[in-house]
Structure 1
Amino acid sequence: MAIEHASVRVVRKPWGVADLHPWSGIDGSNDAIGELWFQRVDQDAPSPALLLKLLFTSEPLSVQVHPDDAFARSIGLPNGKTEAWYILFAAPGARVAVGLKRHLTPRDLRASIRDGSIASLTQWRAVKKGDVIFVPAGTIHAIGAGIVLAEIQQYSDATFRLFDYGRRRELHEDSAVAVSDAGPLQAQPGPRRLTAARTMLIASQHFVLERIDLSPNSNWALNTDRETWILVIEGSGRIALTDTTVGDAMFIEADRTGIEVGPDGMSGLVAYPGPDPIASLLQDGGARTAVYSPKSNEIVEVQT
């Protein structure tokens, strides 16, 4: 059991930015910051199953792919990397790439890595604030310039690059060909409202990602039986004994805590291991609670 105000690890990247406002006051003017990793305060605590990040892009990232659990374990890694993105900011014309325009054979994929044509074979799409993108392991993908996003993923840094815009970093042709599902991304279910305050964005084997929207000056109880991450994306409030605002993250492990919402309300992203949403995750101060209804296969709120 644990309730912690997450610490932040700064990761500097050539495609990063200098100004992280309003998400962080850390100065990147001397060396661009590409990622902020939220971590447990106790470095000796067991590694969590999930990793929560913020990414800031001034240039396109590499075209890359991540392994699934089976391949990762075959090369000595504990697990693969499935991830999801929530777009917090997108400049006009900002794009991401997820999947390919058409199916490629392993031979064709290898050739496209060698001649650089893989960059034009990826399926790019425009993004805007509030978009959610699910990236299963094996999906070839890239993130364009002018984006701030929150990423939730399996705790892994296993990345195989296929194209890197001339940055002269190593490409990983053999591994990329071995793990890639070299075709278009299959359609994914859209967001689903669970309660008035909860919207399920992604439900997968590895994690559930929700958005919560809490009204001004309201009080809530959060109940979880597993590791849970909360990232404040709008407004402010008090979680447990910690004042939180935009860009703050909390780690809660199999515990119960209170949320006191500020005068402007509070919205956040909540992530925890899947595959199903936690029915009793959030209870409001009006003694309304959430229960699972087998008849409708939904979470419903009832007065208690």
Structure 2
Amino acid sequence: MTFDHASVRTTLKPWGRLDLGRWASNQRQDSAIGEVSFDYSEAGGPDRLLLLKLLFTAEKLSIQVHPDDAVAKSMGMESGKSEAWYVLEAEEGAQVAVGLKRQLTQLEFRKAAIEGSIEGLLDWQAAAAGDVFYVPAGIVHAVGAGLVIAEIQQRNDTTFRIWDRGRSRELHIEEAVAVARLEPVSSRKLPRHITVERAELMSCPFFTLERLDLPAETFWELTASRESWALVVSGGGTIGSLTAAIGDGFFAEADRADIRVGRDGIVLLIATAASTPPIGLLREVPAKDRLKPDSAEVNSDRVGHNVIPFRLSIVSP
């Protein structure tokens, strides 16, 4: 299986944005886009383990929680939903909430959810570009306004809403009470450099998330030994024969591709369905071993490139 562009689906959300800035060539939308999901499917192919998204928030999201593997399987689903957030952009004062300020009983939690006072019990934290947060299944959480976030998660979108700030969407308080871990957690993760170019942002039993910072006009070999998702967050170049620009998503499994970096460098997020960073993911190719460049110049400011092709399906909330 070769490296390939992931398909894109946009989802309308009441908390989303009309203006997606640099993440879309058609920056101003007619309806508020909250999520951009990347997918890759093949006829008869295996089910994917992970889901990669971009989140765009103009307002706070609902307060919510997700089931773990055991609860999800008891409900007939393949897996639970643990997730990680990488903050791409943050307005001044932007915040996220992960876990609670103090331990609660189920009775206290249910009462706070019904009254709406649960928001004041969450552990709200400042969020800035480059921050990484891990949200295990069962942890009560929310995303604030003014953020663009790359999210990697187990492939299950089951969400139990606890409080939705007066919106008319369905709540799932009893389900949330049954699965929530009513305690404070340590959610913020600090990067660990594996090499100069490669940083482990976080690892958990279900996936790893890395950031690759590749300098301008260099040449690399990327090897995906397991299910892997890549997102271009800065700069540009080519991956194999494919153009790679800001907002482009890629999928690979059990294959390799050459990365030719453009004149502005390139920054990639790489999510792998493994509990530890894969050995041999990235290798710089010596000049003597490089193939001749494509006839077209590789750079990161091409004209007419659709960063996110919104002609694809749009799903209502």
Q: Same fold (TM over 0.5)?
A: yes
Structure 2: runs of 5+ lacking an equivalent: 288-317
Code of the residue aligned with 2:215 in structure 1: it is: S
Question: Is residue 106 from structure 1 mapped to residue 137 from structure 2 by the alignment?
Answer: no
TM-score by length of 2: 0.88
Q: Which residue of 2 aligns with 1:173?
A: 173
Counterpart mapping for 1:89-238 below 5 A: 89-186=89-186, 190-238=190-238
Partners of 1:5 and 1:41 within 8 A in 2: no
Tell me what 1:262 maps to: 262
Q: Counterpart in 1 of 2:282?
A: 282
> Which residue is equivalent to 1:291?
none
State the alpha-carbon separation in 1 of the partners of residues 18 and 44 from structure 2.
Answer: 31
Task: Tell me the CA shift for residue 7 of structure 1.
Answer: 1.1
For 1:81, what is the secondary structure of its paired residue? coil
The answer to which of 43-52 and 159-168 deviates more is: 43-52
Partner Cα separation in structure 1 for residue 175 and residue 9 of structure 2: 28
1:286 Cα deviation from its structure 2 partner? 3.0
Deviation of residue 20 (structure 1)? 1.5
**2:44 equivalent to 1:59:** no
Question: Aligned partners of 1:248 and 1:120: how far apart in 2?
Answer: 37
Aligned AA (1:155): R
Contact 2:134/2:189 (8 A) holds in 1: no
CA distance in 1, matches of 2:40, 2:26: 19
Q: Compute the displacement of 1:193 (Å).
A: 0.4
Match of 2:4 in 1: 4
Q: Is the 8 A contact 2:132 2:189 kept in 1?
A: no
SS at match of 1:166: coil
| Distance change in 2, residues 1:174/1:32 (3 Å) | same
1:4–1:41 contact (8 Å) kept in structure 2: no
Q: Tell me which residue corresponds to 2:78.
A: 78
CA, structure 1 residues 44+143, in 2 after alignment: closer, same or farther (shift >3 Å)?
A: farther
Deviation of the 1:44 alpha carbon: 5.7
Q: What is aligned with 1:22?
A: 22
Write the distance in 1 (CA, Å) between the matches of 2:7 and 2:174: 36
The DSSP-based 3-state class of the residue aligned with 1:18 is: strand
Identity across matched positions, percent: 48
The separation in 1 between residues aligned to 2:163 and 2:252, in whole angstroms, is 38
TM-score, normalisation: structure 1:
0.91
Report the aligned-residue RMSD: 1.4
Q: CA deviation at 1:158?
A: 0.7
C-alpha deviation, 1:46, in angstroms? 2.8
Amino acid at match of 1:221: E
- In the superposition, relative to structure 1, how do residues 95 and 187 fare at CA in structure 2: closer, same or farther (>3 Å)? closer
Aligned residues: 287
Q: How much has 1:2 moved relative to structure 2?
A: 3.3
Deviations 1:206-232 (A, max 9, x none): 000000000100000011211111100
In structure 2, relative to structure 1, the CA distance for the partners of 1:28 and 1:170 (3 Å cut) is farther
Residue 26 (structure 1) shift: 4.5
- 8 A contact 2:84–2:132 mirrored in 1: yes
Displacement after TM superposition at 1:246 (Å)? 0.5
